[in-house]
Structure formats: C-alpha cells, structure tokens
Chains A and B, each alone.
Chain A
Amino acid sequence: MEIKIEDQKNIRILSAMGEVDMHTSPELRKHLLKAVKDKIPIVIVDLKEVSYIDSSGIATLVEALKGMMKYKGSLKLCSLSERVKEIFSFAKLDKVFEIYKDLQDATIG
C-alpha cells in the first residue's frame, strides 16, 4: 500500500493505494495519528485506489475518528468501493463516518 499526502489550507488528504490490511494499516495509522497530533481540522481519506480494506484498516479509521473528535476535527472518507461500503454499512459505521462519493464532494462538503 502507498499513501499520497496533500495539504490544502485546513485540509489534509490521504490517498491510499493498494490493500489496507494487517501488514499495511500501521502505515495508515501513522499518518492519521500524525494528523490528529497536528490537530488538522479536516482529514480526507481517499479510498479510490483501495482494492481491499480489512478490519484492521477499519479499526484504524475508527481510532483516528476518536482522536479527531477530541478537538472537533472532521474525518471524511471518499470514493469507497461497493464492497467497502457494504462492510461499513454492516459494521454500522456508515452513519458514524462522513462518507462522500468522491474527493471533490468531500473537499467541498
């Protein structure tokens, strides 16, 4: 998995590519916790190029959301594949996260 980082004003965009699994999710966690530590107001995780995300990846996102809520930051997810959407919905996390159709919507939403 690779992560591309882009900063725009108050927004940090993390674009993940590949599979987010137990081997790679610590890398995503590192970038998300850095954003939490820096108290970035809005973090967008773009999952467009993510072919698979396992429970460690989802748990990592939950952990980051919990950290961001402490300083009223906003964690947005965008471009989820149908399968990833289903997993979020089943885990009842589709109502917990702000989920957007694509990066453009997440940026202006």
Chain B
Amino acid sequence: MEKALIIKDLVAGYNNKIILKKISFDVPKGMITAIVGGSGSGKSTILKHLIGLLKPLSGEIITKGYDLTKLDEKDLNKYRKSMGVLFQGSALLNSLTIEENVALPIREHSKLNESTIKIMVKMKLDLVGLSGFGNFYPSQLSGGMKKRAGIARAMALDPELIFFDEPQAGLDPITASGLDFLIMKLRDLFKMTVVVVTHELHSLFTIADKIIHLDKGELIFDGTKEEFKRSENPKIVNFINRIPEEENYCPEDYFNILTAE
C-alpha cells in the first residue's frame, strides 16, 4: 500500500514539555486516517507538524521521499500548496465573501485567468452544496455552512492531501453526518488522502479506514476501525464507551500543583 506520509519517531513539545513521545505511524494514500484521543492527547500537535506549522524536537515526517521537518520555508510552501486544511473554526476571512475566500488561494498560487477562477470557485461551492451562497459573507452562514465553505477553500488548489481538524465540532448530528459523507466523497471521487483529527465516535466509525489513537502523547493504537472496536486496551475500551479516566494523582500531587511557584 502506497504511503502518503511516514511519521518516524516524532518527538515534539512546547516550552520543554514533551507532548508527543516518539510517535511512528503511516498515512496510507487515498484513504481516510483518523487521529483520535482525548483532550491533551497530542492530536492537534501532531496535525500542526503534519501540515508543517511546527518543527519537532526530533524525528521525521517523510512525504514523496523528502523529510518535511528538514525543509526550508520555500520548500515547505510548495508542500503546503499540495494540501488543504480545514481548521476548527473554518478560518474564513470575514471581510471577504465566500467566493472570494475560495478564490484567494487560487489567485495567490496560480496564474489562471479570472474567468477560469470564477468557474473553478463555482465548482468547489457546488461540490460542498453551497451553490448560490458565493456572495454571502461568513457571518451570514450557519456553522455547518461555514465548515462546508472552509472545505471548498481547502479544495481550491485540488490538493492530494487534506487535513480536517475536528470537523464535526459544534455541529448538530445531521449536519455532522452530511460532512462525513462529504469527506468520504473526497476520498472516493478525487482519490484524496484524508487525515481527520476527531473525537466524534460516530464519525470515526463511519469514515475512518485507519485509526491512530493517542493517549498523553503516546501512540496506543494503529489499525483498522474493526480492530479498534475489538481492542481490549482499557483506554480504548473507555474511549469507545465514553468512560472518563479517573484522576491519577494523589492529594500530595494536588497540593504541589496548587502551591507551585
């Protein structure tokens, strides 16, 4: 199976605090890989490394034969052009219409004629079910529509690789389900490689071909969703059954936290 990304022994952190502890896994090409885990597990940190926003302390992220972590800004920008990202808050520019938001990356990164761009933008908006909303501003759209507009913009440059950061966050179940189908459509129709950071179980079991589970910066599962469901790892069983973890520090630790300078 061809690999779009190979993550090798990735160690990452902020301010001397290690967040990712020697993580290794592959992202298969043309499939949906879901990265799951509770809050603070390191899933957003790994996403930031995969899109080249952060440099790790050590380790490699290999794509098309080169190591992302070693690229200079110029080559990183080339990589970024080959991928799209839907950020949690959609990250649309509020002063631009939806059409202008989607057209922005095309105008920035290509020398296409304006009339070609206009047609492309209409195609992207139709793909996400937003035909007729091009002249709306982000503030005039619902949460689900904003996400769709964000996907249209992420799709603007026909990326081979697309990242979603908690796409279902804040959406009602029906809208979230519609988004799941859209993500699967991107895989099936455009053969895109999709990486989704999520903690929505229903979405996970609907869309994921492969699941990576992080727990406190460690990789505790790497496999298919069927294997995930059968896992006997207590942390995964708790995750699936939505059982919160017990506080694992003693009163002495708590006292130390409260009195630390």
Contacts and interface: CB of A to CB of B under 8 A. Distances in A.
Interface of A: 21-23, 25-26, 29, 54-56, 58-60, 62-63, 83, 86-87, 90-92
B181 to A, nearest CB: 13
Contacts of A83: 191
B43 interface: no
Interface string B145-172: 0000000000001100000000000000
Q: Which interface residue of B116, B124, B157 has the most chain A CB atoms within 10 A?
A: B116
Given A29-B116, A56-B158, 17 more contacts: A22-B157, A25-B112, A26-B112, A29-B113, A55-B120, A55-B158, A56-B110, A56-B120, A59-B116, A59-B123, A63-B119, A83-B191, A90-B127, A90-B189, A91-B123, A91-B126, A92-B126
Given A26-B111, A54-B158, A91-B126, A59 B189 contact: no
B16 interface: no
B123 A55 contact: yes
> What 6 A-B pairs come out closest when comparing CB atoms?
A59-B119, A54-B158, A59-B120, A22-B110, A59-B116, A55-B120
A60 B110 CA distance: 14
A87 B155 CA distance: 14
B95 interface: no
A58 B189 contact: no
A63 B116 contact: yes
14 contacts: A22-B109, A22-B157, A22-B158, A25-B116, A29-B116, A56-B120, A56-B158, A58-B123, A59-B116, A59-B117, A59-B123, A60-B116, A63-B116, A83-B191
Q: Is the interface of B mostly helix, strand, loop or mixed?
A: helix
A68 to B, nearest CB: 14
Contacts of B111: 26
B259 interface: no
A14 to B, nearest CB: 16
B112 A22 contact: yes
Contacts of B112: 22, 25-26, 56
Q: Is the interface of A mostly helix, strand, loop or mixed?
A: helix
Contacts of B248: none
A52 to B, nearest CB: 10
Contacts of B120: 55-56, 59
B110 A62 contact: no
A23 B190 CA distance: 19
A59 B124 CA distance: 11
B116 A56 contact: yes
A58 B111 CA distance: 16
Contacts of A56: 106, 110, 112, 116, 120, 158
B189 A87 contact: yes
A55 B123 CA distance: 8
Interface string B103-145: 0001001111101110110011011000000000000000000
